[in-house]
């Protein structure tokens, strides 16, 4: 984003005219240092995923979640769009290739017109994955399911930022590894789950 730039040069007693480079219109952004900081506005927007429960029926796996958005900038952000889906990790490719990136096409799940400076917003919803699209991983003779939640966050005037979270059953010991979901058990709901961001 172009910052507001002006200067004055004096030759004797005659002042050269001010030269002003117009600022790009990021909604709510200020000029000077504030405008320069918004060259990449998305970096001021923090997103946190809280998985509430994972349900598995005969037809689909469903993740119920809460997302917390926090605006850490000094100006409002507008035109916030969150896209996301639920998929499954698999052994056919490195995990890095299964994560969301800027080119990943994801359906929109939330939009937010305005988030003021220093404000946070909690958004809730469900994301479903048909069981026929689950790619099981074999753990010995046991088929397991490792869900990945892929999210792409964008704001007006900025490039989208991808995030990928692995979902699993909460470990018995704090700080332990998340446990996968078995697919050889009857359909059920798992309330005691957690997520870990993949980077």
pLDDT tens readout for residues 57-67: 999 999 999 99
Average pLDDT over residues 106-116: 97
Residue 21 inside a domain? The answer is no
Among 122, 150, 172, 161, residue whose Cα is nearest residue 63: 150
pLDDT of residue 51: 98
Residue 129 inside a domain? The answer is yes
Domain count of the chain? 1
CB-based contacts of 199, cutoff 8 Å, min separation 6: none
Residue 72 inside a domain? The answer is yes
* pLDDT bracket for residue 161 (50, 70, 90): very high
Asked whether 23 and 35 are in contact (CB, 8 A), the reply is yes
* 193, two tokens: 């789950």
CA angle 68, 48, 76 (to 5 degrees): 50
pLDDT of residue 38: 55
Chain-centre distance for alpha carbon 111? 12
Residue 13 inside a domain? The answer is no
Is the dihedral angle over the CA atoms 69, 67, 106, 150 positive or is it negative?
Answer: positive
pLDDT tens readout for residues 113-158: 999 999 999 999 999 999 999 999 999 999 999 999 999 999 987 8
Domain range for 158 is 42-198
Q: What is the mean pLDDT of the chain?
A: 84
Residue 26 inside a domain? The answer is no
Residue 34 inside a domain? The answer is no
Residue 117: CATH number of its domain: 2.60.40.10
pTM for the predicted model, two decimal places: 0.78
pLDDT of residue 27: 43
Of 25-39, 54-68, 94-108, 168-182, which one has max mean pLDDT? Answer: 54-68
pLDDT tens readout for residues 50-100: 999 999 999 999 999 999 999 999 999 999 999 999 999 998 888 888 999
Does residue 70 or residue 23 have the better pLDDT? 70
Asked whether 54 and 112 are in contact (CB, 8 A), the reply is no
Secondary structure percentages of the chain, helix, strand, coil, to 5: 10, 50, 45
Is the dihedral angle over the CA atoms 49, 54, 60, 66 positive or is it negative?
Answer: negative
Among 27, 6, 24, 10, residue whose Cα is nearest residue 117: 27
Asked whether 171 and 193 are in contact (CB, 8 A), the reply is no
DSSP 116-157: -TT-EEEEEEEEEEEGGG---EEETTEEEE-EEEEEEEE-TT
pLDDT of residue 39: 64
Residue 96 inside a domain? The answer is yes
Residue 128 inside a domain? The answer is yes
pLDDT at 37 over 60: no
Asked which of 5-14, 19-28, 53-62, 164-173 is least confident by mean pLDDT, the reply is 5-14
Percentage of the chain beyond pLDDT 70 is 80
Q: HSE on the CB side for 173, CA within 13 Å? A: 3
Among 124, 110, 51, residue whose Cα is nearest residue 79: 110
pLDDT at 12 over 60: no
């Amino acid at each position: 984003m172009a910052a507001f730039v002006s200067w004055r040069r004096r030759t004797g007693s005659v002042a050269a005219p001010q030269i002003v480079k117009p600022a790009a219109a990021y909604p709510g952004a200020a000029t000077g240092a504030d405008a320069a900081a918004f060259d990449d506005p998305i970096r001021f927007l923090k997103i946190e995923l809280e998985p509430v429960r994972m349900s598995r029926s005969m037809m689909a796996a469903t993740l119920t979640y809460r997302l917390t958005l926090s605006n850490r900038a000094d100006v409002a952000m507008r035109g916030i769009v969150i896209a996301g889906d639920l998929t499954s990790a698999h052994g056919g490719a490195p995990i890095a290739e299964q994560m969301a990136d800027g080119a990943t096409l994801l359906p929109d799940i939330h939009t937010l017109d305005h988030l003021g400076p220093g404000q946070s917003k909690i958004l809730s919803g469900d994301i479903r994955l048909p069981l026929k699209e689950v790619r099981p991983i074999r753990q010995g003779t046991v088929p397991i399911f490792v869900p990945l939640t892929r999210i792409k966050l964008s704001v007006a005037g900025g490039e989208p930022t991808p995030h990928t979270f692995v979902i699993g059953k909460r470990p018995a010991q704090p700080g332990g590894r998340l446990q996968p979901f078995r697919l050889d058990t009857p359909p059920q709901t798992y309330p005691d789950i957690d997520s870990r961001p993949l980077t």
